[in-house]
Chains A and B, each alone.
Chain A
Amino acid sequence: MVTEVSLAKDTEAKLWDEIVENSPHGTIFHTWRWLKITEKYTKFQFYPLLIRTGDEVRGIFPIFHRSHLFISMIFSPPPHAAIPCLGPVIVDYEKQRLYKKELILTELQGAIDEYLHWQLKSNYVSIAFSPGLNDPRPFGWAGYRVSSAYDYETDLSCGSEIMWEQLPKNLRQNVNRAVKRGLSVEIGTERDVDALYEIMVRRYKEQDKFVHVPKEYLLDLYRSFDGSMRIFVAKFEGNVISGSIELFHKDKVTSWIGTPKPLINISPSPNDLISWEIIKYSIERKFRSYTTFGAAGDERLHAYYASKFNPELKMRYIVKKISFIARIAEKGFYHILNPVSDRIRR
Chain B
Amino acid sequence: MTLNFIQADESIKREWDEFVVSSPHGTIFHTWSWLKIVEDHTRMKYLPLIAYRGADPVALYPIFIRKVAIFNTAYSPPPGAYLLYLGPVIIDYHLKKQDKKESVFKELQEEIDRYLFENLRCKYARIRLSPGLSDSRPLRWCGYTPDPLYTYRINLSSGTEAVWQQFDRKLRVGINRAIKEGITVREGSKNDLMLIEDDLLRRRKEQGIKSPDHSKYLMDLFDKYKENMIIFLAYHQEKIVGNLVALKFKDIMYLWIGTPKSSLRGIYPNDLVQWEAIQRACRDGLHWFENMDGGDNPRLTVYKSKYNPEPVIWFSAEKYSSFLYKAGVKIIRRSSSN
Q: Residues of A at under 8 Å CB distance from B?
A: 97-99, 102, 106, 135-138, 140-141, 146-148, 150, 152, 296-297, 299, 302-303, 306-307, 310-313, 315, 317
Contact = CB atoms under 8 A, between A and B. Distances in A.
Interface stretch (B10-18, B145-153, B180-188): B145-153
A137 B295 contact: yes
B94 interface: no
Contacts of A296: 137
A302 B310 contact: no
Given A299-B141, A306-B99, A310-B98, A146 B148 contact: yes
A150 B137 contact: yes
B157 interface: no
B154 to A, nearest CB: 10
A98 B302 CA distance: 10
Q: Chain B: interface secondary structure?
A: mixed
Given A135-B311, A302-B137, A146 B305 contact: no
A297 B138 CA distance: 10
B336 interface: no
Contact of A317 (B101, B148, B302): B148
Contacts of A136: 148
A303 B99 contact: yes
Nearest to A136: B148
Contacts of B313: 315
B298 A141 contact: yes
A97 B308 contact: yes
Interface string B21-55: 00000000000000000000000000000000000
B102 A98 contact: no
A231 to B, nearest CB: 27
Nearest to A142: B298
Contacts, number: 66
B301 interface: yes
A303 B141 contact: no
Nearest to B145: A147
B98 A306 contact: yes
B306 A99 contact: yes
B308 A99 contact: yes
B147 A146 contact: yes
A98 B137 contact: no
A137 B309 CA distance: 15
Interface of B: 97-99, 101-103, 134-137, 141, 146-148, 150, 166, 168, 295-296, 298, 301-302, 305-306, 308-311, 313, 315
A312 B150 CA distance: 21
A307 B99 contact: yes
Contact of A98 (B97, B101, B148, B309): B309
Contact of B102 (A138, A146, A303): A303
A150 B135 contact: yes
21 contacts: A97-B308, A99-B305, A99-B306, A102-B301, A102-B305, A135-B311, A137-B298, A138-B298, A147-B146, A148-B136, A148-B146, A297-B137, A299-B141, A302-B102, A303-B103, A306-B98, A307-B97, A310-B98, A310-B99, A312-B98, A315-B134
A310 B97 contact: yes
B56 to A, nearest CB: 21
A98 B98 contact: no
Contacts of A138: 298
Contacts of A102: 301-302, 305
Contacts of B295: 137
A217 B98 CA distance: 35
Contacts of B150: 137
B174 to A, nearest CB: 14
Contacts of B102: 302-303, 306
A99 B148 CA distance: 20
A312 B99 CA distance: 10
Given A152-B98, A313-B98, 18 more contacts: A98-B311, A99-B306, A106-B298, A135-B311, A136-B148, A140-B296, A148-B146, A148-B315, A302-B137, A303-B102, A307-B97, A307-B98, A310-B97, A310-B98, A310-B99, A313-B101, A315-B134, A315-B313
A317 B134 CA distance: 13
Nearest to B137: A150
Contacts of B147: 146
Contacts of A317: 148
Contact of B168 (A97, A140, A310): A97
Nearest to A146: B148
B185 to A, nearest CB: 24
A155 to B, nearest CB: 12
A200 to B, nearest CB: 26
Contacts of A106: 298
Contacts of A99: 168, 302, 305-306, 308
Nearest to A168: B99
Nearest to B97: A310
Contacts of B141: 299
B148 A148 contact: yes
A150 B302 CA distance: 28
Contacts of A147: 146, 148
A297 B301 CA distance: 30
A292 to B, nearest CB: 12
A299 B302 CA distance: 37
A307 B99 CA distance: 5
Contacts of A146: 147-148
B168 A313 contact: no
A97 B166 contact: yes
A140 B296 CA distance: 8
A146 B137 CA distance: 14
A306 B101 CA distance: 9
A164 to B, nearest CB: 16
Nearest to A309: B98
A306 B137 CA distance: 13
